[in-house]
Structure 1
Amino acid sequence: MPTPPFGIAEFQLVLLRRMADHHPDLVDDALRALSASHADLREAHRKWQARVHSRTFPAGERRYRTALGPPEAEEERQIGDLRCRALRWPVPLWPDLRFEVLCAPGGAPGGGAVWNEWLVRAPDAPAPALRTPADLTPWSCTVDDVARAFPPATPLTADAPTRSRLAVTAPGTGERLVAHFTWGLLQYVEPGPG
């Protein structure tokens, strides 16, 4: 019996699987919106992990092209001294966001090594109004949204795969905060070191 295809519907479940640690209620709402179950979520995660750890499945950016199809956008980008390619795919669950993969230049066609993978704001979507720490609600913003709204933002060492953290200072009060993200989407904020 052929293996069922793995596409954006299943990939959204992979994203949700990592977010369930922080907000199971939001994940339950998302599963209902996707007409999916927790069993579907676990199965999608199992299949994705099998692909990630397979010696025969394409690696690098080809892994995403195989699962998600051609990217909606592909561009060259300069980040400091590094040059890379950015690939973006729409994510129906979050219409104002895109799943972005940053890849090393060169290599085999479609096979550049992946440097980063996360959700970002779609180019034509307005960023949320983030003025105070109270505006930093779960799933409301991306790493870049928070970094722009609360400069200067300092990246901190990730505490797990697919997670990232930013140290920021609240405007006006000087309160130090650490914003925690999974796949680039805000999960929670906690007081930072004083």
Structure 2
Amino acid sequence: MTARTPAPPAPAPGPFGPAAFQLVLLRRMADFQPELAEDARRRLGASPAEQREANKRWQAMVRSPRARGALARYRSVLGPPESAGRRAIGDLECEALLWPVPLWPELRFEVLAAPDGAVWNEWLVRAPGARGPVLESPQDLLPWSATVDEVARAFAPARPLEGTAPTRWRLAFTAREQPYVAEFTYGLLQRVTPAEPAPRTP
């Protein structure tokens, strides 16, 4: 009886960088848009197994008791930001850092950080100078076409709603007397659904 040759060990995973981070974004977006997310994963040249591994490693970094702060984690994973500047939000001042996202060249991943390094917000925004979509009706709100800020401006006064997960945002707005709810993952539009009209007060 011939002894079987042992299978070679699996290659050690490489450094967790921008490509792996994009796989994490797509993993969450697949909850709403599985076909778009799968097409994007293929464009990155990654297999489903590689995506699962990337998500597993990201969650381990986030939940590790020895983990660095969120801002340090983003700098480690994404490298030096493309730009950084001060921004006032009400009476508070924060630092806004932007990183390019190759899957969406017209977008940037934005992190808003407090002076002590605590991260206040982390999502996709339109790149400075990039032309945003023309949003005149709910029919213009296609998946992955707009960011939270763009939808809020186009259909003001939009009302923020509680998200269904930490990486999700929702906006309620009315267009042509019909209420809608727009849902976002990491700040990028995923879907828009009609909502029940609010009951009228007597």
For this pair of structures, how many residues does the alignment match? 187
| CA distance in structure 1 between the aligned counterparts of 2:177 and 2:82, rounded to whole angstroms | 40
Letter in 1 for 2:133: P
Residue 165 (structure 1) aligned with residue 170 (structure 2): yes
For 2:87, the equivalent position in structure 1 comes to 77
Letter in 2 for 1:158: G
Letter in 2 for 1:139: W
- Deviation of residue 116 (structure 1)? 0.8
Deviations 1:157-186 (A, max 9, x none): 11111000011121xx12211100000000
- Deviation of residue 2 (structure 1)? 6.9
Q: How does 1:1-194 map to 2 (within 5 A)?
A: 4-105=14-115, 107=116, 112-170=117-175, 173-194=176-197
| CA distance in structure 1 between the aligned counterparts of 2:14 and 2:136, rounded to whole angstroms | 45
| CA distance in structure 1 between the aligned counterparts of 2:180 and 2:70, rounded to whole angstroms | 34
CA RMSD of the aligned region, Å? 1.3
Matched-pair identity in %: 61
- Deviation of residue 82 (structure 1)? 2.1
Secondary structure of 1:176's counterpart equals strand
- Deviation of residue 56 (structure 1)? 2.0
* Structure of greater Rg: 2
- Deviation of residue 5 (structure 1)? 0.7
| CA distance in structure 2 between the aligned counterparts of 1:81 and 1:192, rounded to whole angstroms | 34
- Deviation of residue 60 (structure 1)? 2.4
- Deviation of residue 59 (structure 1)? 1.3
Letter in 1 for 2:181: V
Which runs of 5 or more structure 1 residues have no equivalent in the other structure? none
Which runs of 5 or more structure 2 residues have no equivalent in the other structure? 1-10, 198-202
TM-score, normalized by length of structure 2? Answer: 0.89
Letter in 2 for 1:14: V
| CA distance in structure 2 between the aligned counterparts of 1:81 and 1:45, rounded to whole angstroms | 36
Runs of 4+ in structure 1 off by over 3 angstroms are none
